[in-house]
Amino acid sequence: MGNNYSREGHMLDTRMVELVKNHMGITISQDISDFENVDCMIYNESTADGYDVWVVTNDTRQVNVCENVYYYDHDIANAFDDQVRWGDQSFYIDDGVYEDCYIEDKLIEMFSEKVEDIIINDELDITLEEINYLKEEYGFGEETEETDSAKVV
């Protein structure tokens, strides 16, 4: 789990994932003992005739085939995002599903969407160097410089 590729300079993917999870209060467990103790479970199942399907549910005792079961794994990252938007914070995500369904890529995308809020979140363990890098990388603070120079003219 987790790639340590440096993205656009020097912030690691794993650091972006850590920051967005902390900012949004998301926990992800791959420990099967947490399976019933989370808001949402995401896992793989096999049908009676041997096909793989993916399940995203809040209640494993009442899985709705029409709403909770996916035939295509590429839909799972978006389903995870939906669950976060609907208020789920704790997740069990099967190890293979986490990797195969690009959950980490979705978390990095969520980081990009929330980066401005992450920068100003005083409760996160984010360094001044990281804040300055993110402001530069994502172009925050440039509007005020343009406004200030327009006043001079």
Residue 74 lies in a domain: yes
Number of separate domains in the chain: 1
For residue 129, is it within any domain? Answer: yes
Q: For residue range 105-119, what is the model confidence (pLDDT) as tens digits?
A: 999 999 999 999 999
In the predicted structure, residue 88 carries a pLDDT above the cut 80: yes
Q: How far lies 87's CA from each of 24, 78, 83, in Å?
A: 10, 14, 6
pLDDT for 61: 93
Task: Tell whether the model's pLDDT for residue 86 goes beyond 60.
Answer: yes
Q: What is the pLDDT of residue 123?
A: 87
For residues 95 and 145, the model is more confident at: 95
Domain that holds residue 45: 6-146
In a domain, 152, yes or no: no
Q: Would 33 be classed as within a structural domain?
A: yes
What long-range pairs does 81-86 form, CB within 8 A, spacing at least 24? 81/106, 81/110, 83/39, 83/40, 83/56, 83/58, 84/24, 84/26, 84/110
Please report whether residue 151 resides in a domain: no
Instruction: Identify the pLDDT of residue 58.
Output: 96
Q: Which two tokens stand for residue 145?
A: 């410089």
Mean of per-residue pLDDT scores for the chain: 87
Q: Give pLDDT tens digits for 19-66.
A: 999 999 999 999 999 998 999 999 999 999 999 999 999 999 999 999
Whether 23 is covered by a domain: the verdict is yes
pTM listed for this prediction:
0.82
Is 58 part of a structural domain of the chain?
yes
